[in-house]
Structure formats: C-alpha cells, structure tokens
Chain A
Amino acid sequence: MMMQYDIVIVGGGPAGLAAAVAAKESGCDSILILERDNELGGILNQCIHNGFGLHTFKEELTGPEYADRFIQQVKELQIEYKLNTMVMDISPERVVTAMNRDDGMFLITAKEVILAMGCRERPRGALNIPGYRPAGIFSAGTAQRLVNIEGWMPGKEVVILGSGDIGLIMARRMTLEGATVKLVAELMPYSGGLKRNIVQCLDDFDIPLKLSHTVVDIEGKEHITAVTIAQVDENCRPIKGTEERYTCDCLLLSCGLIPENELSTSAGVELSRVTGGPVVNESLETNIKGVFACGNVLHVHDLVDYVSEEAKKAGETAAKYVRGEITDNRGKTIAIRAESGVRYTVPTTLNPDAMDDLLTVRFRVGDVYKDAYVSVYFDGERVQHKKKRIIAPGEMEQVILQKKQIMQYPELSAITLKVEEV
C-alpha cells in the first residue's frame, strides 16, 4: 500500500510535535507524525523533573507536562499520528518506509519530510574506557528510563562520568531515591551541562564535581564493583599518581549526545562534522529538497523551549513549500561561518530573499569565556558586538540577524560569528 501526505514528520518528540502544530496552523492539512514509541512526547516522558517551558509557557513544567501541552494541540488540531511505528528508510525522493505491527511495512510518499528523530547517548564503547565489561554500567538516559518509567533502581552506590545535563539530573534523582552518588567526574575542565543543573542537582546535595577527571579502570567481572578515577592533563591524558578508587555498584555515563541521523544519511542528507546533524539553510532545509530538520537531530539543544521554537520554524516553512510559496530556495546564499571560539552555527547558510524579517542563528562555543564579546561580521565589517558575562559550552547561544540590515549589503558573501575577548 502506498500512502500520500503533504508533510511526514519523523519523530513525535518535542520537535516533531511543535513542527506538526506549526505546519497545521500554517494551513497544511495533510500531516502524519510517525513515532516509534508507544506514546507521543519522546524523551520528555522520562524527564519527570521540572524546569521545562520557562521561555515558552512562562511557567515551570515537568517534561511530561510540557509534552502534553503540545500533544493536546496535536489532538485538537486533529493531526494524524501513528505510534509504535519505526521509520526504516527515507529515500532522496521522499518515499518513507515505515513499519508497525498493525499495518506491517508500508510506504508513504511525502511532499515534505521533517526529520525530528532526536539524539542518542554516547555509549561506553565509544569512550574507550578500559577495564572489564560488567553489568551495572548505564548511559544516564537508560538509567533515567529504568528509574522514572519502569520503577527499577540500577544501583545504590553510584559514580557518574560526564557532566552532561542528564547525568546531573540523574545524580539528584538517584540521591532522592536513596542512592549515594559519590561523585561526578568530567573529562573537560568545564561542565557540559547547564549551570542551573550543577547548582540544583549537585551543589544542593553536596555531590562533588571533579573537573578534568576521568575513569581509567573498571573492576568487576560480572557486576561492577569499583572504578578508578584519575586527573587528566590538558590533552585529556590521565596523570599518573592521581588515581583514586571508588567502590560502586553503578556507573552512569553522561558523555555527550549524538544526533540520530542514520535515516537522514539514507535520504542523502549531508551532515555537519561538528554537530553530527544535517547542514541546513535559514529555512532549516537540508541539501535534499523538501527534507527539513529540527530539534536534537539537527544539533543538541540545552533547553526544550528552543527545540520547540526551532521546530515551529521548520513546520511553517514546510507548509509554505506545500502551498508553493517557496518553489526553489537554491538562489543566492550567504555563508554563515563559525570562527574563533564559536564551534558551529545553525543554520550555516541563508538566502536573504527566503528569510523572515528576523533570523535566529544558534551556536555553541568550545570553551568557557568570561566578559567576552559575541561578534557578528558581515564580510570584514563588524555589525554586532555584544558583551556577555559568561559563555560556556554547556549553554546554547544565539544571535538575531535582521533581513533589513542584510539587504543593505547586496554584495555580502559571508556572515561570521566570533567570540572576542575585547
């Protein structure tokens, strides 16, 4: 059987939901969301802590509550969705192959596809941590699912490697569940998580955070019994003589998130080497016409509010394509470059004719900067220079570009973002 939809959205997490709502509100009626899990909401369903939605709804919600706001809209707007449905393939011609137990394997032709598959955690194997490979080692998100959804404890004496946000949240969660979290070790000299999570999840519970430290050995043939932590030098190599042994029955890993782009690759989508997500233009369209990306599959966000905001944009643009308002977005493009301290930008190109009056360019930095400036250059000319008290890798940053201003530079070829100390 071959189905047809104007917009197929792959993933029913925060990005997919916001994109669907925006596309529908922009006048597109033929939308299908494909969700692999048994409910909409994605990873928010296991994020039972609060702190979501301060920007979007001006109040603090839990993850499931935040998701529910969008799920209710999807239902009210009568947007179609299929649960327990795995997308197996997306072709460059936007034929989506999906499967579930009721419909079997089926094909859908889509005018536009919005990629919203989210990300996965970097596993132990990819970290090359030496030692045994016993039970009791979890990525923080897997442990979060076990604790918050399934109601099972993965351990009672916990060491956490990596200070990503899920690791920090789980440090608090495990403590509240009666476990002892002995420490959080972070390879880098700075945390990869939000400042507020360090304060609320570690400091408030007296859990030590050891920066520039890593796990150099794992003990226990069947079940983990101890880990050895060592300090690392500026090249992230362990320093001899700094080893400390911690007994534990659980090691949680929160060492980075990787956008899940295997499907994108099958569609021929070009990926950024820095973010691991698709390379997109101002409309969040990839190099494959009619394929858009938003949320953590595009780049890993710090706050879900920004995911929703970005996804809304993808949904609106996809709807414009459906209506034929944009037919070819391959006209004049201006490169957006990341330099000196800025690791990447999303998007990486813009077409001034296709952009809205304002364009949000999101980026992350590669180090911690204090009292530094975020600058925007139009070719050689500095047009924005904003002082920030602190800029850190764990927090996503943004600059706003104005169409009006860009139009004043008809010869403009590149926009460059930089962190400048003065």
Chain B
Amino acid sequence: MYDIVIIGAGVIGCAVARELSKYNANVLVLDKNEDVCAGTSKANSAIIHSGYDAKNGTLKAQFNVRGNAMMDDLCRDLDVPFKRIGSLTICTDESQIADLEKLKERGEQNGVPGLKILNREELLEIEPHIADGVVAALYAPTAGIICPFKLTIALAENACENGVRFHLMTEVTKIEKADEGWKVTTNHGEYLTKTIVNAAGVYADEMNNMVSENKLKIIPRRGDYILLDRTAQGYVRHTVFQLPTELGKGVLVTPTVHGNTIIGPTAFDIDDKESTATTASAIAQVTEKSAISIKGLPTRQVITSFAGLRAREAGKDFILGEAEDAEGFFNCAGIQSPGLSSAPAIGAYIADLIKEKLTLSEKEDFVATRKDILDPSKLSLEERNELIKKEPAYGTIVCRCESVTEGEIIDAIRRPLGARSLDGVKRRVRAGMGRCQGGFCSPKVMDILVREWGLSMQDITKSGGDSHIVIGRTKDGDE
C-alpha cells in the first residue's frame, strides 16, 4: 500500500514528488515513458515567466509569480542552470502601447516586481538587434531561462535519493476506488494507494474522468519550435515576446541557458495527444514571425525543429487540488504555460494538501541538495587533469559538437534514474544536442550504453518503446 501514487514524471509530477519526499511517506511515481521528462516538459520554450500575462485572480497568475520567486533557491539547491535574463514584450505600433500599459497593470496586480515600459531608445540599449518596427516593450526583469530537462531530472533524482520510487514504462489503464483509497491498474500490474496525484499532462483529463463526474477535456495545443546553433548567439539577450493574441503569446525569441537560440511556438489545437509532428508551414511561420522581434537573426543556422503539446484544459486555468467527488485524488491538470514556471509552487501546494490529508511527519534525514553531472569544462586545467588522472574517461571526448566526455555520459547512466536511451543521455549531458545532431557520437554513445547496462546494440533505443536504432546484424557482422 502506497501513501501516494503520482501519475506522470514530468516537471509537475517530479516537483510534487520532490516536495513529498520531505515527509515520511511511501511515494511512487508512474510514467508510461522510459525516462522522466519525456512529454510536454521536454518540448517547450525553456523559460520562466515573470507572471504578468495571466489574468488577475487566476491560479496561473498566483502560481506563476510564486513559482518564479522560488526558482533561485531551488535551482541553487538542485544545481540547475537558471538565469534571470528578463523578458521584453514588444509592440510594433504606437497604439499598442496602451495594451502594454494594461499588461503592466495586470502584472503589478499579480505581484510581478520591477515591470517597466521601455521606449525604443531604451530598448536598443539593452537589446541592440531589436527589429526596426519595434516601438516599445514591457520589460519584466524577473523573467528567466532554464533547462527544463535538467530541472525535471534534478527534481526526480533528488526525490529518488530521498526515497521516492519511480516505475517507468508503466502506463495507467484504470483507476478504481478501493476499500481504503484507490486501486491503480497499469500494464505492469496493480498498485494500491491512499492518494493519487494526477500529473498526467495531456492525459490528465483521462485520469480525472475515470474517478470524477466533473469531467475535464484537454485539447492539446501544439507548438512548433526551431532551435539555432550556438554560432547564432548574440542576437538576442532577453526573452522577447510579441504582444499576446487570442491564440497565445505569439512567437518568442530567446537565448537558452546553453547558448542556443530558440524560436517559437506556434499554436494549433489538435485531437491526437501524441501528435508531436511538425509541419513545413508551421516551421516557416515561426521563422518568419521571428523577424518582427529581432533583426538579422540567422535562422538558417537551425540545428533542429520540434513540437511540444501544451496540456490546455477547456476552462483555461490550472486545475489544482483534491477532486470534489473523489477523496484522495489530487489533480494537477490543465498545466499549460506557465506550467514550467509554476512547477515549484504547484509541487509545494499539492504536497502541503496531502501532508494535511494524511497527517505526514517531516523526515529528519531529508537531503535538500543534489549535484548535477560534473561539467569538466568548468574546471581549471589543473583540476581537469587531476580528474582525468583519477577517471580517464573524462579525457575522452565523445560528442565533439558539445565537447561531452565519456566520463559525463557514464555519470548520466550510473546516477539514480540514469539514462537508458540516446535521448536520455542527450537530455542529461547534451551529447547529440549540437550541430551534427548525433551524427558522429550516436554510435559511440550506443557502445557506452551497451557496456554500462549490459545490453545488446539491438536493445538500445532513441527514446524507449519501439525506437530501436539498429534492427540486426549485417551479413558479416559478428555477435
């Protein structure tokens, strides 16, 4: 019998898990994918919103501002790259300045600090490549950029180290009321639990609708993005939004914590909850719209394009807390933007509710900090050489584009909830994330995965499931 089963190992599920790991409780996280951070959490703008955008009084407004404020401490404790670079919401017509004023007012009511309207001259000083047509912008100094993979993985690892169990590749098929609590049926057996946290992303409606009469409907909203090579950096210093429209926040241009430039997203409502396919017109649209914000952006230096699904619920706000007609079933549903920004606050809030519900006591030996995978490029020459002497694997570069050593890859595999697939390695240490997109390093990373997990090349996948890389031996290939 578990105290808590969390469905979904995205940033929300992992944030809840990490908060709950502070208490004496039996916690289990289930996810249908082979790794944490494999759904919406892996494909988004990688930004932390300041919180001016959500309407006053909404959960989105409240949790965004609170989550934003929690980021510094959390990222310091969990060793996650986070930079408060500030955001600019631009307008291209004098008449829209009034809209910026309204946004500023809204933001101030939401509790966003430091908001300021900048005129073109002021803008040019802090964002020199701003497009010619831009007349003014709303500056939000508390906005930031983050690595969403590293945040989610860090939360999961820290939860795991504090005793939370993770069952991956485990898909929930049925949730039923049990004598005491709930019975959760999966493709790998049944689990009994006192409480459930529904953090199932685009599937949160299906989970909720199995237990509650208050039906939810999540209509995934696809967002296409393009990512530019680091050679294109320097064109944009802040997260630059365009004034929001009915279909979302428009296209943003932002640097990433790793020095790439990200452009996107589009906004297409779709039916299929797995449909992360990009379209040519969407990619063209993103590329085209970026020119409204930034002049001369070298969009030809694209290294990849991708699409993510926002888990947008029909009621438009987050749905947080215990379902009225399903005791012990806690929803974190409809977590679209600003979900990543709100995650720490949502995690704390839900954990608090469950602590009360189950009267949990605090753990004495909770470990609040966690070290990220060692990045040797941050060491001095002497330190680096000492490391290589101890661990020669740190002297071998596997991914040449991102300068990733074998030592880092081994660390990514051996730590708690370690990487099992090429994408798992990529999200942890960036091998294959660079300009050649794994062309040179993927066979080498496969060799390391084979060796570390004791698998065959045929077992290695891109991202679990049926995503095998090779199908069998060549005619002369020997076993």
Chain A complexes with chain B: yes
Residues of A within 8 A of B (CB): 36, 84, 86, 88, 99-105, 120-121, 123-126, 128, 130-136, 139, 141-142, 145-147, 149-156, 177-178, 216-219, 221-223, 238, 249, 262, 265
A residues near B435, Cβ cutoff 8 Å = 120, 123, 126
CA distance in complex: A177, B464 (Å): 27
A residues near B462, Cβ cutoff 8 Å = 134-135, 222
- Would you give the shortest CB distance from A191 to chain B, in whole angstroms? 21
By Cβ-Cβ distance, the 3 closest A-B pairs, closest first, are A151-B477, A125-B304, A101-B395
* Contact across chains for A101 and B392 when beta carbons are under 8 A apart: yes
* Contact across chains for A100 and B227 when beta carbons are under 8 A apart: no
- Would you give the shortest CB distance from A192 to chain B, in whole angstroms? 17
B residues near A104, Cβ cutoff 8 Å = 384-385, 388-389, 395
A residues near B442, Cβ cutoff 8 Å = 142
Beta-carbon nearest neighbor of B397 in chain A: A86
* Contact across chains for A147 and B280 when beta carbons are under 8 A apart: no
Residues of B within 8 A of A (CB): 226-227, 231, 274, 276-280, 282-283, 302-306, 381, 384-385, 388-389, 392-397, 400-401, 403, 435-440, 442-443, 457-458, 461-478
- Would you give the shortest CB distance from A283 to chain B, in whole angstroms? 28
What are 15 A-to-B residue pairs whose CB atoms are below 8 Å? A88-B397, A99-B388, A103-B395, A130-B279, A135-B467, A135-B468, A136-B469, A151-B473, A151-B474, A153-B470, A153-B474, A178-B475, A218-B277, A223-B467, A249-B471
B residues near A221, Cβ cutoff 8 Å = 274, 276
A residues near B474, Cβ cutoff 8 Å = 147, 151-153, 177
B residues near A102, Cβ cutoff 8 Å = 392, 395
Beta-carbon nearest neighbor of B401 in chain A: A262
* Contact across chains for A139 and B385 when beta carbons are under 8 A apart: no
Beta-carbon nearest neighbor of A253 in chain B: B439
- Would you give the shortest CB distance from B129 to chain A, in whole angstroms? 20
B residues near A124, Cβ cutoff 8 Å = 304, 437
CA distance in complex: A145, B469 (Å): 13
B residues near A222, Cβ cutoff 8 Å = 462-467
Given A100-B395, A153-B473, A218-B277, answer yes or no on A126-B303 (Cβ-Cβ < 8 Å): yes
- Would you give the shortest CB distance from B120 to chain A, in whole angstroms? 31
| New A-B pairs, 19, CB < 8 Å, besides A124-B437, A125-B305, A130-B277 | A36-B400, A86-B396, A86-B397, A100-B396, A105-B381, A105-B385, A120-B436, A121-B439, A123-B436, A125-B302, A126-B437, A130-B279, A154-B471, A155-B471, A222-B462, A222-B463, A222-B466, A249-B471, A262-B401
A residues near B464, Cβ cutoff 8 Å = 222
Tell which of B303, B389, B475 touches A125, judged by Cβ atoms closer than 8 Å: B303
B residues near A223, Cβ cutoff 8 Å = 466-468
Beta-carbon nearest neighbor of A127 in chain B: B302
* Contact across chains for A128 and B280 when beta carbons are under 8 A apart: yes
- Would you give the shortest CB distance from B229 to chain A, in whole angstroms? 9
B residues near A152, Cβ cutoff 8 Å = 457-458, 470, 472-474, 477
Given A147-B474, A152-B473, A223-B466, answer yes or no on A130-B396 (Cβ-Cβ < 8 Å): no
CA distance in complex: A153, B231 (Å): 34
Beta-carbon nearest neighbor of B230 in chain A: A262
* Contact across chains for B403 and A151 when beta carbons are under 8 A apart: no
B residues near A105, Cβ cutoff 8 Å = 381, 384-385, 388, 395
- Would you give the shortest CB distance from A259 to chain B, in whole angstroms? 12
A residues near B395, Cβ cutoff 8 Å = 99-105
CA distance in complex: A101, B283 (Å): 42
A residues near B394, Cβ cutoff 8 Å = 101
CA distance in complex: A146, B440 (Å): 11
CA distance in complex: A124, B442 (Å): 14
Interface centre among B393, B466, B476 (most CB of A within 10 A): B466
Given A101-B395, A152-B457, answer yes or no on A130-B278 (Cβ-Cβ < 8 Å): yes
* Contact across chains for B280 and A86 when beta carbons are under 8 A apart: no
* Contact across chains for A88 and B403 when beta carbons are under 8 A apart: yes
Tell which of B400, B436, B470, B478 touches A146, judged by Cβ atoms closer than 8 Å: B470
CA distance in complex: A311, B392 (Å): 33
CA distance in complex: A124, B302 (Å): 10
- Would you give the shortest CB distance from B303 to chain A, in whole angstroms? 5
B residues near A121, Cβ cutoff 8 Å = 436, 439
B residues near A150, Cβ cutoff 8 Å = 443, 457, 477
B residues near A216, Cβ cutoff 8 Å = 280
* Contact across chains for A99 and B397 when beta carbons are under 8 A apart: yes
B residues near A86, Cβ cutoff 8 Å = 396-397, 400, 403
B residues near A219, Cβ cutoff 8 Å = 277
CA distance in complex: A273, B278 (Å): 29
* Contact across chains for B437 and A125 when beta carbons are under 8 A apart: yes
Tell which of B439, B466, B470 touches A123, judged by Cβ atoms closer than 8 Å: B439
B residues near A146, Cβ cutoff 8 Å = 443, 469-470
CA distance in complex: A178, B475 (Å): 8
